[in-house]
């Protein structure tokens, strides 16, 4: 049956060959003679390897190997230099051979969902044209930070894995529109996530989050999913405040950061790159707007996000992290920030 289809395709110089759902255990070697082929669909079979003859398919732009029995990436893939779409969902892949990705520099779409991957090779960063990456339903414990150099990436799907955190470098994915990390073990989202001004859809449902990053509302989200997280709740209790004793470094840093605003120190400061590096980590108090370095009060602001973001969750109040410089600011009236108590 499959052989008949290949023969017919050979005679007609076909651009598309669809051998989906034909119970194939191997791909007929004659497929390698279809030099004009653009699309090869092999999904829903029992293929465990690919014949070397496929390397002759110089014009192939789409290869669908979804729902098969591949345990490793076939090396022949690296010869398919024009490939733009590669479907590998529903196989038995537990790791990806990095060498394959060195050559697929036209790849735009890569679907790896429903496999057994525990890591991703950092060589994925070579896929400079990649716009869509789906690794849902795997066993990833982390993602390589180098993945964040994929400047064209628009969609990143990492739901149903075992991720504990996201790399700080995520802020470099400036074209990202959709990010799904639903149903992982993430305890904290990196502050850098909030610089992704093109992000429209964020799905963090089913994680271990208790609070959101300070600049959450700077994101221009259209959809935001965050149900099933142990988010901080508003229960008012009284507490004892112990006034902080600032270190000499903190006092000096606050003084310098303040002076820098008025330019009086800027000129001298350029001779002290070490000091400048330290002060780069300064934050700004949400009440008095002055800068501080290492000593702060972590507070929470309960923000109603329904006005800004269309929601699916019935809850519309989310806890957002707020940093204050001192109890003096905390005790000032006119703000709605709450201290955090561990009960
Ligand atoms: Zn303050």
Q: Is 311 within the bounds of a domain?
A: no
Q: Say what the pLDDT of residue 343 is.
A: 63
**CA 67 / ligand 1 centre spacing (Å):** 57
What CATH number is given to the structural domain containing 187? Answer: 3.80.10.10
Does residue 99 lie in a domain region? yes
Distance 339 CA to ligand 1 centre (A): 14
Which pLDDT belongs to residue 266? 66
Dist CA 174 CA 199 (whole Å): 8
Give me ligand 1 centre to Cα 255, in Å.
13
The reported pLDDT for the residue numbered 86 is 97
- Residue 258 confidence (pLDDT): 85
Whole-model pTM?
0.88
Q: Give me ligand 1 centre to Cα 289, in Å.
A: 6
Distance 292 CA to ligand 1 centre (A): 8
| Residue pLDDT, tens place only, 73-115 | 999 999 999 999 999 999 999 999 888 888 898 999 999 999 9
pLDDT of amino acid 313: 53
Distance 324 CA to ligand 1 centre (A): 5
Within a domain: 341: no
Cα gap 342→263, rounded to integer Å: 42
Domain-located, residue 243 = no
Q: Is residue 332 part of a domain?
A: no
The predicted pLDDT at position 260 comes to 81
For residue 24, tell me if it sits in a domain.
yes
What pLDDT is recorded for position 311?
55
Query: What's the 240 CA to ligand 1 centre distance in angstroms?
Result: 19
- For the chain, 343 residues long, the average pLDDT of each consecutive 10-residue run is 78 89 92 93 96 94 97 93 96 92 92 97 94 98 95 97 96 97 97 94 96 91 91 78 81 86 70 80 90 87 77 72 90 87 69
pLDDT per residue as tens digits for the range 209-247: 999 999 998 898 989 999 999 998 877 777 777 777 888
Using alpha carbons, select from 328, 341, 334, 331 the residue that is nearest to residue 300: 341
pLDDT (0 to 100) of residue 265: 66
- Report CA(297)–ligand 1 centroid distance (Å): 10
Task: Report residue 184 as tokens.
Answer: 């992982």
Q: Show the domain range for 20.
A: 2-225
On the CB side of 199, CA atoms within 13 Å amount to: 24
Q: What tokens appear for 132 in the block?
A: 């869509």
Q: What is the mean pLDDT of the chain?
A: 90
The alpha carbon of 286 and the centre of ligand 1 are apart by a number of angstroms equal to: 7
What pLDDT is attached to residue 165? 96
DSSP one-letter string for 265-290? THHHHTT-HHHHHHHTT-EE-TTT--
Centre of ligand 1 from the C-alpha of residue 111, in Å? 48
Q: How far apart are CA 121 and CA 100, in angstroms?
A: 10
Q: Which residue has the tokens 């990010």?
A: 179
**How many A from CA of 288 to the centre of ligand 1?**
4
DSSP 222-257: SEEE--SS-------------PPPPPHHHHHHHHHH
Nearest one of 94, 87, 95 to 112, comparing CA atoms: 87
Task: Count the domains in the chain.
Answer: 1
H-helix or E-strand containing 157? strand 155-157
């Amino acid at each position: 049956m499959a052989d008949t289809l290949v023969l017919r395709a050979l005679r007609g110089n076909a651009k598309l060959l669809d051998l989906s759902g034909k119970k194939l255990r191997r791909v007929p070697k004659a497929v390698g003679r279809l030099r004009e082929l653009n699309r090869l669909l092999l999904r829903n079979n029992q293929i465990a390897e690919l014949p070397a003859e496929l390397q002759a398919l110089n014009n192939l732009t789409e290869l669908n190997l979804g729902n098969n029995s591949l345990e490793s990436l076939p090396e022949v893939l690296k010869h398919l230099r024009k490939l733009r779409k590669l479907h590998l969902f529903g196989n038995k892949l537990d790791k990806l051979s990095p060498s394959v990705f060195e050559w697929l520099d036209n790849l735009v779409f890569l679907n790896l969902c429903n496999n057994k991957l525990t890591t991703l090779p950092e060589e994925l960063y070579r896929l400079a044209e990649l716009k869509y990456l789906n690794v849902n339903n795997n066993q990833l414990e982390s993602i390589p930070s180098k993945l964040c150099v994929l400047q064209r990436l628009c969609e990143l799907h990492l739901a149903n894995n075992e991720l504990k955190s996201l790399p700080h470098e995520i802020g470099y994915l400036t074209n990202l529109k959709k990010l799904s990390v639903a149903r992982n073990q993430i305890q904290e989202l990196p502050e850098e996530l909030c610089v992704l001004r093109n992000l429209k859809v964020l799905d963090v449902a089913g994680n271990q989050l208790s609070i959101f990053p300070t600049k959450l509302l700077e994101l221009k989200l259209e959809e935001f999913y965050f149900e099933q997280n142990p988010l901080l709740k508003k229960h008012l209790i009284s507490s004892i405040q112990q006034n902080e004793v600032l270190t000499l470094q903190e006092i000096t840093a606050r003084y310098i950061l303040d002076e820098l605003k008025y330019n009086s120190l800027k000129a001298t400061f350029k001779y002290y790159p070490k000091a400048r590096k330290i002060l780069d980590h300064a934050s700004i108090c949400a009440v008095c707007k002055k800068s501080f370095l290492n000593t702060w009060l972590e507070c929470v602001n309960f923000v109603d996000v329904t006005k800004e973001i269309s929601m699916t969750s019935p809850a519309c109040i989310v806890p957002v992290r707020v940093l204050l410089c001192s109890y003096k600011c905390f005790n000032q009236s006119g703000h709605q920030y709450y201290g955090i108590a561990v009960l």
